[in-house]
């Protein structure tokens, strides 16, 4: 199954998440936005623009504030260019000048996540919360940091807090489902993904992840329906095709699985697309179980 789930997700499950761009992908991955689900609408980490201008009781010379802000702004520019290591150095300088610069901690934490320094991201997000005020985005990012450390209970608490502060935060709801599924709270994960899908009826990610959670819980018929709804929402959603094909194979319907996989393959023009290559490989492995499905292989030109 391909959920957008964390590394600890069942081997053949592939979820759609989206915690951090490119880090996790579908739950198979995590939804860093998330975990590793497919791509988490509203789940990608966002850079904070500077909102605070000093913590209560803080007295910082204007020149120092200006200098700190200059490093912060430059760090944001570097982050948007994808140069996260250089961005971290700029945030370091901003924080050295202004140790209470909350948004600098947030953005440094995000930059650490982007370059897979998860151990450094945790204290940055925690410090941002210590400085205050409470913020859904900070809890979301802190939850992502806990998730990549497989500290699911803490991740769940952070995502729940993010939703308490901002009930419309789609990334937090999606990643909460991933964290619950990863901590064996499958029924709760199903509930969360179902709510996500109700709020986002056009989201293939939501239906795909719901399908994964249902399948983990042994509710195969409902899972199959969820994967099909994901495909209806996005005709080129690779995880949904992969998950549906695997489920059909598991249930002994190899011919149906070949039809599902070949449908996706014909939609992808790039012969080197990783998902196309994987599905072509699966087609070949299914032929022994469905000799009459040779035409699917011929139709897509798979070897």
Helix (H) or strand (E) holding 31: strand 29-31
Element counts in the chain: helices (H) and strands (E) = 14, 4
pLDDT of residue 40: 37
Mean pLDDT of 117-130: 92
Q: Is the pLDDT of residue 301 over 60?
A: yes
- Overall pTM surpassing 0.85 (yes/no): no
Q: Directed axis angle between helix 254-267 and helix 238-250, to 10°?
A: 170
pLDDT of residue 10: 28
Question: In the structure, what pLDDT confidence band is assigned to residue 302 with cuts at 50, 70 and 90?
Answer: low
Question: In the structure, what pLDDT confidence band is assigned to residue 215 with cuts at 50, 70 and 90?
Answer: very high
Helix (H) or strand (E) holding 23: none
Angstrom distances, CA of residue 126 to CA of 110, 121, 229, 260: 12, 9, 38, 45
The number of residues in the chain equals 303
Among 267, 257, 269, 263, residue whose Cα is nearest residue 293: 257
Mean pLDDT of 24-33: 32
Mean pLDDT of all residues belonging to the chain = 82
Angstrom distances, CA of residue 255 to CA of 247, 258, 286: 12, 5, 8
What is the C-alpha separation between 250 and 115, in angstroms, rounded? 37
Lowest mean pLDDT among 24-28, 45-49, 141-145, 200-204: 24-28
More confident residue, 3 or 129: 129
pLDDT of residue 132: 85
Tokens 């995000």 correspond to: 110
What is the C-alpha separation between 278 and 297, in angstroms, rounded? 13
Question: In the structure, what pLDDT confidence band is assigned to residue 25 with cuts at 50, 70 and 90?
Answer: very low
Among 226, 263, 8, 235, residue whose Cα is nearest residue 282: 263
Angstrom distances, CA of residue 10 to CA of 4, 16, 226: 12, 14, 18
pLDDT in tens, 30-54: 332 332 233 333 333 445 554 443 3
CA 125 vs. chain centroid, Å, equals 18
Angstrom distances, CA of residue 208 to CA of 30, 191, 201, 230: 13, 14, 12, 6
- CATH fold for the domain made of 2-237: 1.25.40
Tokens 């925690």 correspond to: 126
Query: In percent, how much of the chain has pLDDT > 90?
Result: 70
pLDDT of residue 22: 25
Among 87, 146, 157, residue whose Cα is nearest residue 118: 146
CA 175 vs. chain centroid, Å, equals 7
More confident residue, 185 or 41: 185
């Amino acid at each position: 199954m391909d959920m957008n789930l964390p590394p600890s997700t069942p081997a053949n499950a592939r979820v759609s998440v989206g915690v951090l761009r490119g880090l996790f992908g579908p739950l198979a991955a995590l939804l860093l936005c998330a975990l590793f689900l497919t791509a988490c609408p509203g789940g990608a980490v966002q850079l904070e623009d500077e909102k605070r201008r000093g913590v209560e009781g803080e007295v910082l010379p204007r020149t120092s504030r200006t200098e700190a802000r200059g490093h912060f702004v430059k760090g944001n520019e570097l982050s948007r260019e994808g140069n996260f290591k250089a961005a971290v150095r700029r945030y370091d300088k901003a924080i050295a000048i202004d140790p209470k610069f909350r948004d600098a901690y947030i953005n440094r934490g995000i930059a650490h996540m982007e370059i897979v320094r998860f151990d450094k991201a945790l204290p940055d997000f925690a410090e941002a919360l210590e400085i205050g005020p409470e913020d859904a985005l900070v809890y979301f990012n802190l939850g992502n940091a806990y998730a990549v450390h497989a500290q699911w209970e803490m991740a769940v608490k952070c995502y729940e807090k993010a939703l308490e502060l901002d009930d419309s935060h789609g990334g937090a709801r999606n990643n909460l489902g991933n964290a619950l599924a990863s901590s064996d709270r499958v029924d709760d994960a199903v509930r969360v993904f179902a709510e996500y899908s109700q709020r986002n009826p056009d989201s293939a990610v939501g239906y795909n992840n719901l399908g994964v959670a249902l399948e983990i819980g042994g509710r195969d018929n409902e899972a199959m329906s969820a994967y099909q709804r994901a495909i209806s929402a996005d005709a080129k959603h690779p995880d949904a095709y992969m998950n549906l094909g695997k489920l059909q194979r598991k249930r002994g319907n190899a011919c149906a699985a070949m039809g599902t996989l070949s449908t996706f393959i014909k939609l992808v023009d790039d012969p080197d697309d990783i998902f196309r290559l994987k599905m072509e490989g699966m087609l070949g492995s299914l032929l022994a179980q469905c000799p009459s499905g040779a035409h699917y292989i011929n139709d897509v030109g798979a070897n």
